[in-house]
Amino acid sequence: MLGRNQGGGLRISPTIIVALVMAGFALCKYYGQSSVNEITGEKQHIAITPEQEIAMGLESAPQMAQEMGGLSRNQQASAIVKQVGQKVVQTSAAARTPYKYDFHLLADPQTINAFALPGGQVFITEGLLFRLTEDGKTLSEDMLAGVLGHEVGHVVARHSAERLAQMELAQGLTGAVTMATYDPSNPNTAYIAQSVANMLQLKYGRDQELQSDYLGVRFMLEAGYEPEYLIQVMEILKQSSGPNRTPEFQSTHPDPENRKEAIEAAIQEWRKK
């Protein structure tokens, strides 16, 4: 807090000084670590190396699979997932990255999901895979390539490593804000600071999803798939979310309709290149 000392000069509360030091440290640490992503061309503030990302992903993969019913016993479907995934990687710009890509089909038949761990471990559930059809029966490799291309986009753009750095920054700034505004008579001060940090994280998540869609379109085209099928995937996701979908501002994922518009724009952009 600000006040006046006995001599009439301005006095800064020790808690404000500590808060400023905390905020300065968090900002210096975050912005002091930077590298340029070879594929996206973006300057990113990331503390860990690609080798560390690969190790993190490999270490986490077995637990993630176990939490979703384990790996699928459908060998034919699992082979298709690996085949399409490797084609997306090996025939696109993703092949220039140092990551060790592997593609896994999870046994969960109910959950509609796909995700990527740091370093190249990519997963899709049976619940989503068996909905990627044009006629309700035949699996669409183009749709599958769209899903897997999107997840490869997360790996290539180093989104997990980026989120780790952003979370550390948010925690540091949240601590500084809490210190500066703390009022023992008002317990909501800490809650407000944390809410601001949470909203920033949600925005980061939505931005990263849109970037992965953008990269997914690129990788699909480079691998010879039709990126328009990614728009159909968005329709499947919209239908599976039902009428009570979480509002976009409260979600880490953009609304499927907004994603469809962004994908259409990306298709036009990449086809011109």
Strands 102-106 and 121-125 turn out to be parallel
3-state secondary structure string, the chain? CEEECCCCCEEECHHHHHHHHHHHHHHHHHHCCCEECCCCCCEECCCCCHHHHHHHHHHHHHHHHHHCCCECCCHHHHHHHHHHHHHHHHCCHHHHCCCCCEEEEECCCCCCCEEECCCCEEEEEHHHHCCCECCCCCECHHHHHHHHHHHHHHHHCCHHHHHHHHHHHHHHHHHHHHHHHCECCECHHHHHHHHHHHHHHHHHHHHHHHHHHHHHHHHHHHHCCCCHHHHHHHHHHHHHHCCCCCCHHHCCCCCHHHHHHHHHHHHHHHHHC
Interatomic CA distance for residues 168 and 70, integer angstroms: 31
Phi, psi of 104 (to 5 degrees): -125, 140
Beta bridge partners of 186: 183
pLDDT by residue for the chain (273 residues), tens digit each? 444 445 555 556 666 666 566 666 556 665 667 789 999 999 988 888 999 999 999 999 999 999 889 999 999 999 999 999 999 999 999 999 999 999 999 999 999 999 999 999 999 999 999 999 987 778 999 999 999 999 999 999 999 888 887 777 666 666 655 666 655 565 555 554 455 455 445 555 788 999 999 999 999 999 999 999 999 999 998 888 755 444 433 345 677 788 999 999 999 999 987
